[in-house]
Structure 1
């Protein structure tokens, strides 16, 4: 992967992260992400172009609005920086693979959903469905480019299967999972299914374990009770991103446990595909 292209994708990640901030701020309130132009929520002063540069503007402004000096949430530069970092990491992970666009779109949508869940305990359909549609379209493009149509079938099965499992859990105990988590599971199955069912299982296990451990820690420290709500979507998203970036060596290691001839075999990376 040429360094220049990696830099371009990283800068694109900053721009995408800036748009995700708009989506996180407006979609839960039912507002358009296109109009009106961005403005300070306190004084309604439109944000000038010089104050809308991802990360840099927030730092130069000291984290405050230029007009009224109200604090700008740290979520803005964090989401922009995190999007750029993950875009670069996934570019290095997949190289010029046909699946890279799908995983970048998938990751961007997941970050917006995690931010919404963390702030509002909400996983909006208006974020889930567009992310699902764009990810699926990119995966169809990847299947067309590589001829891996059976892999696309596995992807669809993972999406439907994850949705069905979480739907059953929701029906059994709605207090455990909201229906937003059910929709998110279908999205996770679609975005991770191309990489293999093991990546989906790994993501769900990692996300569930992370949520459980955080819940136990909060209860033990007296900062929460058994009835305290936690944004489970944040943990599922974290597990999914971890599976994208680190799932391959984990799956390879697990498969090697059942194959004595594979123990100690070197791990190779095929940059032509995931």
Structure 2
């Protein structure tokens, strides 16, 4: 059953990844993600359905437009493949669970926000703000666990953690505005919901991992002379990677640390 679910998740991830390519390109430009249909940016010819099969079409076309032979960025199939792998990994982590939709949504949003922040140094409200009610509803479904034992204490913990992480980021923004973007502040509450649903250890480890990973990356850039001490770097990707660490390794890391004490 789990193996079949992994396959289904991988296929679903390919389809979602194809849509995320549209989101990543259009949302920062305030364009509709529904209309017009996708077209080649070089010649403007609409993409045929047979040329819009995730990963496969790019390989068959050898990374070029069928009509004008313009190169198609390898990022498109990479986004599709990455989303597919993430969806499958979520199944491997959670198994058959009502929590799957919530964490699939987190995986999809993370891919989109990661790339947008890298591209334009912005975390669009159009993605972040709707994620609050969507994440809450999906986590509520996971807590209700139809057909099994419910655990609404996890949902309460998620809300408390979301508020706590949001307040923490607001304080950082007030204390040092240049070091924390407003988009990062808005995103923090969403990520806090997910971390809190898993547990307080995930919250602590996930929040700390974001600053640790971002700090190591920043120092590395300075050492390699790719950036200066006053350079501004997107922090959203590190928040998202920190959440991944907190969700997967939070309880284990917290247990290890407590053991040292």
Q: TM-score, normalised by structure 1?
A: 0.89
Pairwise CA RMSD of aligned residues? 1.6
- Partners of 2:23 and 2:33 within 8 A in 1: yes
Helix, strand or coil: the match of 2:177? coil
Partner of 1:121: 121
Say yes or no: does 1:57 pair with 2:60. no
Helix, strand or coil: the match of 1:118? helix
Of 75-84 and 142-151, the range deviating more from structure 2: 142-151
1:176-213, Cα deviation, whole Å (9 max, x unpaired): 01100001111110122100121122122112111111
How far residue 235 of structure 1 moved from its aligned partner, in angstroms, is 1.0
Say yes or no: does 1:221 pair with 2:224. yes
- Which residues of structure 1 form unaligned runs of 5+? 259-274
Q: TM-score, normalised by structure 2?
A: 0.93
Helix, strand or coil: the match of 2:114? helix
How far residue 61 of structure 1 moved from its aligned partner, in angstroms, is 2.1
> Equivalences for 1:175-194 in 2 at 5 Å?
175-194=178-197
Say yes or no: does 1:85 pair with 2:119. no
Cα distance in structure 1, aligned partners of 2:245 and 2:57? 30
How far residue 234 of structure 1 moved from its aligned partner, in angstroms, is 0.7
- Which residues of structure 2 form unaligned runs of 5+? none
Partner of 1:21: 21
How far residue 257 of structure 1 moved from its aligned partner, in angstroms, is 4.2
Cα distance in structure 2, aligned partners of 1:59 and 1:242? 32
Partner of 1:155: 158
> Equivalences for 1:31-180 in 2 at 5 Å?
31-145=31-145, 146-180=149-183
1:110-161, Cα deviation, whole Å (9 max, x unpaired): 1111111011111001111223322211111122224211221110011111
How far residue 108 of structure 1 moved from its aligned partner, in angstroms, is 1.1
Cα distance in structure 1, aligned partners of 2:70 and 2:253? 45
Partner of 1:200: 203
Cα distance in structure 1, aligned partners of 2:259 and 2:98? 27
Cα distance in structure 1, aligned partners of 2:173 and 2:190? 16
- Partners of 2:18 and 2:76 within 8 A in 1: yes
1:156-181, Cα deviation, whole Å (9 max, x unpaired): 01111111110111112111011000
